[in-house]
Amino acid sequence: MALLEVQGLQTHFFTRRGVVKAVDGVSFSLDKGQALGLVGESGSGKSVTCLSIMRLVAPPGRIVGGKILLDGEDILAKSEPEMQKVRGKRISIVLQDPMSSLNPAFTIGDQVGEAIRAHQGTRGARLKEQIVEMLRLVRVSSPEMRAGQFPHHLSGGMRQRVVGAIALSCQPRVLIADEPTTSLDVTIQLQYLKLLKDIQQRSQLAIIFITHDFGVAARMCDTVAVMYAGKIVEIAGVRQLFNNPVHPYTQALMGSVCRPGQKVERLYSIEGQPPRLSNLPPGCSFAPRCCDATDRCRGNPFPPTVSVEKGHSATCWKLV
């Protein structure tokens, strides 16, 4: 049994202009110690997928279908008080902007210790020890001193490490990292990614890594799922995907990446814009931007998922 299994997840936003199908039938599984990357353009549904797994979708959004099985339990069937016992303890999230996650009015120690108090009931001297241990785990320098400081005292890289310490404080089984390196410079990004990889290998933590960067996906992930217009259009092991991308969207994304030693006058770009999720085109959602699209792509329903090889599947009519 997979540690986390998402089956046909549907999350829609009900607006005055119509129903926005932000996540429309997403399915994947995640095993202990595995890292899954979610890649795709902005608005493809990556973050909403992960907020749905955390049951943190705000109105007018609503999960309208599917299952999310954590250790075989459907967390969509849990009440909100029951979910509060799951969040932070069994599954945690690191958001891309640490300043939106940290409260400027509380010390670092108070915020790291909050989840430990809530889920483990630890108090007093033992709580202070655990706070320092967590800050040391994510390699925050002078953790005893940092615990008494406020978020504005820390650099961006340090704040991101603190957010990681909060997410890991109760030793969750699944960690969702929503573009955690976006606000960091290149050198700090590399250090932070290495830190996450080291923690994952030591604790057998399962990670869902959301990113726009194929280089980050190649470094961090075992499996990569490519999302477009609320759906997963291709999913494969990282080597399979990089060596043999079969969906035109995946191929286009990879074609727009600058590679070391490659000399081109102009990088490839995908023509057009992603579709409005409240008014999706008939047939394949990518057809209006696809160089390989035919009448079959536009006239038929959304293509079925086709197995390319073991562990590699895609949704494209040219594969059927």
Asked if residues 111 and 103 have their Cβ atoms less than 8 Å apart, the reply is: yes
Environment class of residue 118 by beta-carbon count within 10 Å: exposed (0-12), middle (13-18) or buried (19+)? middle
Could you tell me how many residues make up the chain? 320
Average pLDDT in the chain: 91
Contact 60, 7 (CB under 8 A): no
Question: What are the DSSP E strand ranges found in the chain?
Answer: 4-15, 18-30, 35-39, 61-70, 73-74, 91-94, 174-178, 206-210, 223-228, 231-237, 305-309, 312-315
Which pLDDT value is given to residue 31? 96
Per residue in 194-240, pLDDT (tens digit) is 888 998 988 899 999 999 888 889 889 999 999 999 999 999 999 99
CA-based R_g, the chain, Å: 21
pLDDT, residue 320, reads 86
Which residue, among 26, 51, 4, 46, has the nearest Cα to 174 in the 3D structure?
A: 4
* pLDDT at residue 96 greater than cutoff 90: no
CATH class of 4-82+174-181+209-257+268-319: alpha beta
Question: Over 80: is that where the pLDDT of 33 sits?
Answer: yes
pLDDT of residue 109: 96
| Predicted local distance difference test score (pLDDT) of residue 271 | 86
Domain ranges of the chain: 4-82+174-181+209-257+268-319
Please enumerate in sequence order all residues whose Cβ is within 8 A of that of 161, keeping only pairs 6 or more positions apart, or say none.
135, 138, 139, 140, 192, 195
pLDDT on residue 38 = 96
pTM listed for this prediction: 0.92
For residue range 234-284, what is the model confidence (pLDDT) as tens digits?
999 999 999 999 999 999 998 877 767 667 677 778 888 899 999 888 899
